[in-house]
Structure 1
Amino acid sequence: MEYWGSLKLGNVFLCLKKQFEMQSQSKVQPVNSKHLCTGKMQNPSSELLSDEKEFIAHFVSLYDDKRFTDLMLRVGGCRYAVHKFVLITSSEVFEAMLGQKSWKEAEEAEISLTEEEECIPVFDLFLRYLYSGSIQMTTDIVLPVLLLADKYGIKVLRESCIDYMLRHIVESPDTNRTLTWYQYAKMTSQDELQELCLKFILSNFDIILQAPDWLEMTKLELVEFLSSSELIVENEIHLWNRVEAWLCSEHNKESLQENLESILPLIRFTMILPKDLLHLESSSFFSEHHDMFAEKLNLGYKHHSLAIDSGAVTSKEELYRNYYSADYGLCYSFKLDKYNSVNKIESRISIDCDIPVQFMPTSHKKTSQQIIPLQFVFYPKGYFTTITLYGTYLGRQSDSTSLRLLKRLQPDRPPIKVQLTLVLFGMKNKVKYVASTYNQETVICKDNLELFVENVIDISKLTQDDCPYLIHGNLEGKVFIKVQDCGFHLLEEKASQKHD
């Protein structure tokens, strides 16, 4: 047992395998070993005989075989018969706990381990991994297994769990756990996982709203998301309905009043249709917390009243999110069939957009002062343009994916701050999701009537065989164009920023 206690390899069967291979090689060594050492000659009959699968199967069979165990672990209400040498050679923590006499557990035949509640049901799988080096992973159990790997210092398992998460951020709502993984990544400074989770959450918030861990999300994360204007959601009332479900969930009932004080100011009531405001006002939840809703509800009604009456432009205290409901008039869809087959000239996507300065129901006729006429142009196979000079066609082109946003009319209008979001869809695990998001903000004014951006997305990624941004070979996407502010004060802000 002293030999096993001194080993510091990740998994004991790897040690046994290495010893077995050394013995096998010694049997097939040629008589004249001196030539092998010098590299001058090798026996042509030399062959490595490997029964790796059979060897691992024999080792795995030791798990839960009480004939040779020398330690009992008690976790929750379960007891597990294990081999000390397996735990010691697999885990830095178990090596210290069971291999050093300074720990009282080293002398005991049965020890109790205190685990997090969510880790107890997967502890059996965790132990089995120590014997087999494999585990059948799902989105439901990966975080508890990762917590155990972290606790007991099993680096290989920890890295495998993180890799699994990175591959499975895109999942259907019923199996999606991105919210919980995002919380873990923030707490443990897993920067890559945190960045990818946040990107998916903001761009696919409708999936997140239906995910099982939505109701278990912390207030800190909810406040972070609701503060963002980059959320892609159908409309504000649907967002509020899911927030109400979170407020009333078992996890949050005791802190409902406190949570409502923090969250209600982040709901953008001016972006809710009047009919939906009326429906909200008639709900039992509103009746129970009437005083807290009064100011926000009045702001919503006031906004719509002024917008409909005489076309007055109200304050932009509440900004647009990326709403894709037709009620807002902010979102335009496009599709390019057979992306790889179409030539560059025919790939150009051009959309004339009439963007509202402020939100009002689409059923109401809008005046010219309430609409900004813009043209969105996307070059998904590279930029090109042609001009005529003295009867000769001149062209300019590049292989960089590009976009343009131009003001079509009304050059003398006050400056406007425009936020543009371009998304491309992908398909993974039978889930259609936003696979790429590009955001840009600009001030359009008399001296700056156009936004032009090159290399929006790496064109090499669009042309690769397993492109994540194509669905059955087609390029599908949406563009959101939002006027978030207007007025000559924008020029002063722009000049101040340039000076700084």
Structure 2
Amino acid sequence: MVCLAALCAVLAVQMVSVGGAALKLEGSVENGATVLNHSMALVQRLDALLAQGNGSDVTLRVVTLGTEELKVIQGHSLVLGLQSDVLAELLHTANSSSLVLRESADSTAIFDKFIRYLYCGDISVRLSQAIPLHRLASKYHVWPLQQGVTRYMMQHLSSDSPAGHVVTWYQYAVQIGDMTLRNSCLQYLSWNLSSVIQSAEWRSVSEDLLMSLMQRSDLVLHNELELYEALEAWISHNQPADAVAENALQAVRYSMIPPQHLFRLQKQSPLMMKYRESVRDLLFLTFQFHSASPIQLGKYFALNCSLFMPRNYLSPAWGSSWVINNPTRDDRSFSFQTQLGPSGHDVSKRVTWNALFSPRWLPLGMRSSYSDHGALQPTRTDGGQPRVIITPASSSQDFAGVSFQKTVIVLARHQGKVLVRHVYNFHQSTEETGDFLVDADLQRRASEYLIDSSLYLHVIVKPIYQNLVTTRK
């Protein structure tokens, strides 16, 4: 192996070859001292050292698994060993100056970029390169690169790619046990499911991921029928085992689908006709739910289970979009109506809601004014935070047996696509969440939370039926 003195001599030669770098004065410090920063010149010399192979004492022979393809890289054991304890150990135990490394095809393709990072500390990353780079960084214990690629992946979930990449990243995160990346991918897929199921990426969803999605209540989609049709397309394409298909079908919330559509599915859906027996009891309970009063049904069945709990539906029955222009200036308000509940018994009943957006909202403990119906009144202060407050226009006595969860979806535009940026759940005011738009910086026109300088929201009201005392038989 080359000694430190020899490597320094090579670096000195490289410094002459690049003509030296201009002196950079970073500013004066105490006692008249000045910081001289030549770090960029050092990076340039190390880059040239790798490219030209001067003073190389080790040959990396990167073999693609399952093939005879070979990539040869001339390296310096001192640099490689300093950056990776795995490479240091391999070099220490090697019997020759040639080190054979076996990698997958995608890792081999970018191995020279990976080695250059060890020399220069910077690297360009594309969506298709994220997994192989993360794999190499993990294998060779280059932790700063591993952490940097993880951050890159979490920040580029919404980036556009021809075949999609979030599902692949999710499956990779599960494989390596990275729960933070896994949860970020799962959240993105859940919040943007309507666009995901319309893409080619939907077909590549694994059985595990499919069930993880089907069981969530925070899915953002037009309605439950859209999810059923997407499931039907997935099963038709992937042809899973009967047990997998049955489990997925049993996770559909049939009570959120109007009876007229359920009748059609029973007669026209090949999937429903094939697995009718596996969902027969769920359909029977669903038709009871739609035909009886929830208060009566609640005496015999638990209504707070997932079957009777709405997801984040974008259809007009459950909420309304709301575009707020100049969201840093004045309070804005609007009214909208929703269906009282998903039950057929409540389908004709409407609830009117008053929504208020305030860019500077006084903290809860400092408020004192209320409306006739107990609705919070806006109290603005320069030190307040943005808030959305949603209250019913009628008395709460009209909602016996039903409570309401409010959801505000914040939309953003990325690469021309409108996507869900954040989802906030609360009972009456977003102050209950504690983090509503806390990082939005609405004063900045280029804020990621704004579309054309406006705040694009979608407000959803989710009725939750309360359990009653079950009648004993």
Please confirm whether the aligned pair reaches a TM-score higher than 0.5, indicating the same fold: yes
Aligned mates of 2:418, 2:178 — CA distance in 1? 26
Residues 56 and 244 of structure 1: is their aligned pair in 2 closer, same or farther, counting only changes over 3 Å? Answer: farther
SS of the aligned residue for 1:83 comes to: strand
Residues 55 and 212 of structure 1: is their aligned pair in 2 closer, same or farther, counting only changes over 3 Å? Answer: farther
Moved more, 68-77 or 199-208: 68-77
Aligned mates of 1:459, 1:155 — CA distance in 2? 28
Residue of structure 2 in register with 1:332 after alignment: 320
Structure 1 residue 489: Cα displacement = 6.2
Residues 385 and 335 of structure 1: is their aligned pair in 2 closer, same or farther, counting only changes over 3 Å? Answer: farther
Residue of structure 1 in register with 2:355 after alignment: 376
Q: Is the 8 A contact 1:353 1:373 kept in 2?
A: yes
SS of the aligned residue for 1:166 comes to: helix
Q: Please tell me the residue identity of whatever aligns with 2:115.
A: L
Residue of structure 2 in register with 1:420 after alignment: 406
Aligned mates of 2:402, 2:194 — CA distance in 1? 29
Residue of structure 2 in register with 1:440 after alignment: 426
Structure 1 residue 142: Cα displacement = 0.7
Q: Give CA-to-partner distance per residue, 1:232-257, whole Å, 9 cap, x none.
A: 1112122122223333444xx3x421
Q: Is the 8 A contact 2:361 2:379 kept in 1?
A: no
Aligned mates of 2:415, 2:153 — CA distance in 1? 14
Q: Please tell me the residue identity of whatever aligns with 1:350.
A: F
Calculate the TM-score normalised by the size of structure 1.
0.71
Q: Is the 8 A contact 2:319 2:337 kept in 1?
A: no
Matched, 1:462 2:442: yes
Structure 1 residue 195: Cα displacement = 4.8
Structure 1 residue 416: Cα displacement = 2.0
Q: Is the 8 A contact 2:163 2:201 kept in 1?
A: no
Aligned mates of 1:173, 1:81 — CA distance in 2? 31
Residue of structure 2 in register with 1:431 after alignment: 417
Residue of structure 2 in register with 1:81 after alignment: 72
Aligned mates of 1:286, 1:358 — CA distance in 2? 22
Structure 1 residue 319: Cα displacement = 1.3
Candidates 308, 314, 317, aligned match of 1:318: 308
Q: Is the 8 A contact 1:146 1:157 kept in 2?
A: yes
Aligned CA-pair RMSD: 4.5
Residues 302 and 172 of structure 1: is their aligned pair in 2 closer, same or farther, counting only changes over 3 Å? Answer: farther
Structure 1 residue 182: Cα displacement = 3.8
Residues 62 and 197 of structure 1: is their aligned pair in 2 closer, same or farther, counting only changes over 3 Å? Answer: same
SS of the aligned residue for 1:412 comes to: helix
How many matched pairs?
434
SS of the aligned residue for 2:334 comes to: strand
Q: Please tell me the residue identity of whatever aligns with 1:61.
A: A
Matched, 1:265 2:250: yes
Aligned mates of 1:49, 1:166 — CA distance in 2? 29
Q: Give CA-to-partner distance per residue, 1:15-35, whole Å, 9 cap, x none.
A: 965886699999x9xxxxxxx
Residue of structure 2 in register with 1:35 after alignment: none
Aligned mates of 2:358, 2:211 — CA distance in 1? 37
Aligned mates of 1:156, 1:475 — CA distance in 2? 36
Q: Please tell me the residue identity of whatever aligns with 1:430.
A: G
Residues 82 and 352 of structure 1: is their aligned pair in 2 closer, same or farther, counting only changes over 3 Å? Answer: closer
Q: Is the 8 A contact 1:173 1:208 kept in 2?
A: no
Higher Cα Rg: structure 1 or 2? 1
Matched, 1:208 2:192: no
Structure 1 residue 80: Cα displacement = 1.6
Aligned mates of 2:87, 2:378 — CA distance in 1? 70
What are the residue-to-residue correspondences of 1:43-122 with 2, within 5 Å? Answer: 55=45, 58-62=48-52, 70-76=59-65, 77=67, 78-83=69-74, 85=76, 88=81, 90-101=83-94, 106-107=95-96, 109=98, 111=100, 113=102, 115=103, 119-122=104-107
Q: Is the 8 A contact 2:333 2:354 kept in 1?
A: no
Unpaired segments of 5 or more residues in structure 2? 23-29, 372-376
SS of the aligned residue for 1:420 comes to: strand
What are the residue-to-residue correspondences of 1:119-134 with 2, within 5 Å? Answer: 119-131=104-116, 133=120
Residues 420 and 174 of structure 1: is their aligned pair in 2 closer, same or farther, counting only changes over 3 Å? Answer: farther
Matched, 1:351 2:335: yes
Unpaired segments of 5 or more residues in structure 1? 29-38, 389-393, 442-449, 491-500
Calculate the TM-score normalised by the size of structure 2.
0.75
Residue of structure 1 in register with 2:27 after alignment: none
Residues 41 and 283 of structure 1: is their aligned pair in 2 closer, same or farther, counting only changes over 3 Å? Answer: closer
Aligned mates of 1:42, 1:171 — CA distance in 2? 46
Residues 453 and 264 of structure 1: is their aligned pair in 2 closer, same or farther, counting only changes over 3 Å? Answer: same
Q: Is the 8 A contact 2:194 2:221 kept in 1?
A: yes
Q: Is the 8 A contact 2:127 2:165 kept in 1?
A: yes
Aligned mates of 2:359, 2:38 — CA distance in 1? 53
Residue of structure 2 in register with 1:294 after alignment: 280
Residues 301 and 310 of structure 1: is their aligned pair in 2 closer, same or farther, counting only changes over 3 Å? Answer: closer
What are the residue-to-residue correspondences of 1:248-259 with 2, within 5 Å? Answer: 248-250=236-238, 253=239, 255-259=240-244
SS of the aligned residue for 1:58 comes to: helix
SS of the aligned residue for 1:202 comes to: helix
